[in-house]
């Protein structure tokens, strides 16, 4: 969609906010932003893997808007795609902060992209990515993912080091706040990152929802991870329960990457430190 051809990122952001502020002016800005994220996440998810309950939520969500408002949501998504295009970078988090709708009680202060980039460059230089010389992929855990800014910065490092994130990375992200988790889902999906995003609590290990990105499904990551775990003696090579529910039939198309074990990224301290 040539909605904003030739515009600078600043002009695109202004255009996003202009369209956003025109939508359902009688509703609270938080509700409109949340609904935009739900619609975008569901469209991306159900394009790759239909989920009836999510489709119902999609229909119910649009039901609260006039026709011209419903037509504005895809325009916002088109601008988001353009804003994300130059590099993996958190766009939704800063927009959310700028709209002043973040929950301070839940610690929703998203890390500025420049800082996430700096941390990723310091933590994931060539040395920490060395295992990719022999392992088919690495996995990373983000227990307080917010909009996914830190994972996007890691994706940037991987690309700069010559790795294809869709093949060499699998991310597990958790956020207790559904809107934050779905923002993460949208941005990782648009950057084609194989990932599992959990709406849940990293401290109590409560899981409320599990969302797999299109790259997870299309890359048969359920099978890849099961095989990795089986080779490491942690499983029986059958998909985990969440996978069984949603994964496509992989019996005809088992991926053919070599059988070297993968490598879980461990930051100094504990794996769970990434993100807090």
Ligand X SMILES: C[S@@+](CC[C@H](N)C(=O)[O-])C[C@H]1O[C@@H](n2cnc3c(N)ncnc32)[C@H](O)[C@@H]1O
Binding site for ligand X (CB under 6 A): 93, 106-111, 143-146, 149-150, 174-177, 180, 201-203, 275
Min CB(151)–ligand X separation in Å: 9
Residue 222 or 275 with smaller CB distance to ligand X: 275
Residue 38 or 247 with smaller CB distance to ligand X: 38
- Outline where the chain has alpha helix (H): 9-22, 29-48, 52-62, 67-84, 92-98, 113-123, 149-160, 165-168, 178-190, 214-218, 221-231, 241-246
Min CB(110)–ligand X separation in Å: 4
Burial level of 51, CB count in 10 A (0-12/13-18/19+)?
Answer: middle
- Round to whole Å and give the CA distance between 63 and 56: 10
Residue 12 or 199 with smaller CB distance to ligand X: 199
Residue 94 or 136 with smaller CB distance to ligand X: 94
Min CB(180)–ligand X separation in Å: 4
For residue 263, the surrounding DSSP H or E stretch is strand 263-264
Calculate ∠ Cα 111-112-116, nearest 5°.
Answer: 70
Q: How many CA atoms lie within 13 A of 59 on its CB side?
A: 6
Residue 171 or 180 with smaller CB distance to ligand X: 180
Min CB(143)–ligand X separation in Å: 6
Cα→Cα distances 28→21, 33, 64, Å: 10, 9, 13
Residue 77 or 198 with smaller CB distance to ligand X: 198
Residue 149 or 222 with smaller CB distance to ligand X: 149
Cα→Cα distances 240→11, 227, 246, Å: 44, 11, 10
Listed in sequence order, the residues at least 6 apart from 48 whose beta carbon sits closer than 8 Å to its beta carbon are 214, 217, 218
Residue (of 77, 58, 67) closest to 15 by Cα position: 77
Min CB(59)–ligand X separation in Å: 27
Burial level of 242, CB count in 10 A (0-12/13-18/19+)?
Answer: middle
Min CB(73)–ligand X separation in Å: 23
Q: Are 266 and 129 in contact (CB under 8 A)?
A: no
Min CB(254)–ligand X separation in Å: 34
Min CB(240)–ligand X separation in Å: 20
Question: Cβ-closest residue to ligand X?
Answer: 146
Residue 61 or 153 with smaller CB distance to ligand X: 153
């Amino acid at each position: 969609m040539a909605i904003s051809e030739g515009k600078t990122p600043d002009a695109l952001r202004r255009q996003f906010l202009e369209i956003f502020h025109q939508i359902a002016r009688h509703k609270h800005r938080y509700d409109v932003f949340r609904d935009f994220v739900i619609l975008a996440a569901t469209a991306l998810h159900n394009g790759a893997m239909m989920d009836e309950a999510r489709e119902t939520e999609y229909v119910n969500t649009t039901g609260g808007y006039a026709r011209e408002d419903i037509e504005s949501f895809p325009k916002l998504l088109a601008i988001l795609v353009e804003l994300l295009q130059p590099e993996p970078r958190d766009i939704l988090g800063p927009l959310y902060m700028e709209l002043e709708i973040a929950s301070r009680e839940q610690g929703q202060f998203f890390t500025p992209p420049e800082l996430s980039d700096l941390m990723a460059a310091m933590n994931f230089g060539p040395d920490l990515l060395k295992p990719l010389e022999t392992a088919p992929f690495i996995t990373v855990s983000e227990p307080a993912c917010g909009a996914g800014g830190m994972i996007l910065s890691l994706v940037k490092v991987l690309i700069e080091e010559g790795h294809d994130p869709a093949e060499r990375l699998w991310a597990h992200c958790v956020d207790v706040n559904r809107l934050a988790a779905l923002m993460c889902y949208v941005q990782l999906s648009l950057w084609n990152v194989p990932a599992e995003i959990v709406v849940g609590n990293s401290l109590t290990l409560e899981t409320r929802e599990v969302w797999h990105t299109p790259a997870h499904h299309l890359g048969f990551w359920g099978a890849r991870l099961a095989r990795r775990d089986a080779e490491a003696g942690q499983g029986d090579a059958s998909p985990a329960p969440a996978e069984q529910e949603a994964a496509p039939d992989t019996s005809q198309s088992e991926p053919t990457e070599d059988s070297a074990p993968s490598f879980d990224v461990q930051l100094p301290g504990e794996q769970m430190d990434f993100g807090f």
